[in-house]
């Protein structure tokens, strides 16, 4: 069954382009009528098709902008951590309240509910997701950065739509973890440095990275988001999707249909379902965030198919010291000589 709806972009809507040549070029859009058609996997329009938009980070946006020069300490303060956790729990409640069938198996979600989410693009084509960690740094997967030149990359953020709206930022440089192994996806993490610092807002906010060497408990809910395929070999989402999944004990992950030798317990963890179909990330979600209790715990890395029973998704473990030290070593330094030594 097909359902269509229409989006009106009003006269006072704006798209911002920020690049190495200009600070901000603003283009005002006229009112336009844009048809958008997608498959509905339930009978008729229900609560499942509504956009989740009751999460509000506006109280943090102004503070984050004021604390931009000390953003990591700001994010790590107890009060701010509790505020992020509270908003995360509101989103989690919205996701688990309804049985859904989209990211694969996610729900339409406003970018204001996951304002750290970005779309990484190569020559305007979306290739991966990513997460804002400071005003100049985007965290993503190493495998997203292997083939592209920095000059061909850009980042779209602040929009729920994959191909329009929000702001576009050019990339100054990208970095792949020096111990990344493409064949096995060990240490699958990369960093993107922007030309211009971000302006934080309720739709553009950084997220705190998990603490170093913290143990990740199993069977805990987490939220994954992105614009990847809605099903294996299917179409990609045009509107941002998010879903709740559960972390899986490593011993169970190794017993799943995944190749046991492919799982590196130090740099990876599994989430999804061990025994049955469940929500999952899919192609195009790579590099995007998986968040638990308002903290970025991992990066979408790899899997076999999408949302298949006995094949949980595999994520980069950001708490792993080899990964954590490398990431923090970059995002806490601004001097080029310091970065060159990493």
Q: What are the domain boundaries of the chain?
A: 52-336
Q: Which of the residues 135, 286, 301, 330 is marked catalytic?
A: 286
Q: Is the pLDDT of residue 285 over 90?
A: no
Nearest to 3 by CA among 46, 53, 31, 37: 37
Confidence of residue 18 (pLDDT cuts 50, 70, 90): very low
Please give the C-alpha separations between residue 36 and each of 44, 161, 270, in angstroms, as whole numbers.
16, 11, 34
Nearest to 225 by CA among 274, 273, 282, 144: 282
Report the pLDDT averaged over residues 320-336. Answer: 89
CATH says 52-336 is which class? mainly beta
Q: What is the pLDDT of residues 216-244, one digit of tens each?
A: 999 999 999 998 766 555 566 778 988 88
Nearest to 32 by CA among 6, 14, 50: 6
Question: Catalytic: 213?
Answer: no
CB 311 within 8 A of CB 269: no
Report the pLDDT averaged over residues 148-168. Answer: 93
Report the pLDDT averaged over residues 146-175. Answer: 93
Q: Which of the residues 49, 94, 143, 330 is marked catalytic?
A: 143
Q: What is the pLDDT of residues 248-280, one digit of tens each?
A: 988 888 776 555 567 899 999 998 865 544 444
Specify the higher pLDDT residue, 160 or 9: 160
Q: Which of the residues 170, 188, 280, 285 is marked catalytic?
A: 188
Question: Catalytic: 286?
Answer: yes
Q: Is the pLDDT of residue 10 over 50?
A: no
| pTM as predicted | 0.81
Question: Catalytic: 13?
Answer: no
**Structure confidence at residue 301 (pLDDT):** 92
**Structure confidence at residue 303 (pLDDT):** 73
Please enumerate in sequence order all residues whose Cβ is within 8 A of that of 215, keeping only pairs 6 or more positions apart, or say none: 319
**Structure confidence at residue 124 (pLDDT):** 83
């Amino acid at each position: 069954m097909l359902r269509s709806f229409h989006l009106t972009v009003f006269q006072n809507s704006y798209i911002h382009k920020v690049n190495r040549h200009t600070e901000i070029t603003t283009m005002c859009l006229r009112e336009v009528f844009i048809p958008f058609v997608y498959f509905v996997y339930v009978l008729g329009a229900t609560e499942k098709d509504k956009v989740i938009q009751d999460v509000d980070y506006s109280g943090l946006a102004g503070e984050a902008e004021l604390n931009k020069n000390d953003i990591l300490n700001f994010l790590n303060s107890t009060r701010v951590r509790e505020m992020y956790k509270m908003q995360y729990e509101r989103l989690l409640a919205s996701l688990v309240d309804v049985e859904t069938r989209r990211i694969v198996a996610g729900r339409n979600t406003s970018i204001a509910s996951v304002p750290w989410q970005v779309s990484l693009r190569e020559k305007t084509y979306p290739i991966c997701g990513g997460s804002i960690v400071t005003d100049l740094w985007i965290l993503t997967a190493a495998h997203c950065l292997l083939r592209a030149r920095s000059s061909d990359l850009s980042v779209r953020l602040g929009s729920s739509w994959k191909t329009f709206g929000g702001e576009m930022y050019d990339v100054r440089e990208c970095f792949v973890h020096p111990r990344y192994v493409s064949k096995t996806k060990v240490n699958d993490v990369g960093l993107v440095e922007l030309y211009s610092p971000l302006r934080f807002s309720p739709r553009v906010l950084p997220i705190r990275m998990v603490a170093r060497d913290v143990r990740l408990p199993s069977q805990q809910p987490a939220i994954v988001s992105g614009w990847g395929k809605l099903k294996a070999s299917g179409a990609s989402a045009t509107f941002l999707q998010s879903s709740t999944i559960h972390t899986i004990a490593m011993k169970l992950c190794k017993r799943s249909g995944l190749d046991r030798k492919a799982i590196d317990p130090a740099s990876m963890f599994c989430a999804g379902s061990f025994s049955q179909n469940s929500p999952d990330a899919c192609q195009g979600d790579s590099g995007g965030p998986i968040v638990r209790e308002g903290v970025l715990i991992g990066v979408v890395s790899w899997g076999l198919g999408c949302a298949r029973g006995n094949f949980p998704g595999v994520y980069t473990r950001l708490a792993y010291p080899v990964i954590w030290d490398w990431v923090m070593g970059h995002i806490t330094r601004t001097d080029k000589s310091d970065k060159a030594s990493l």
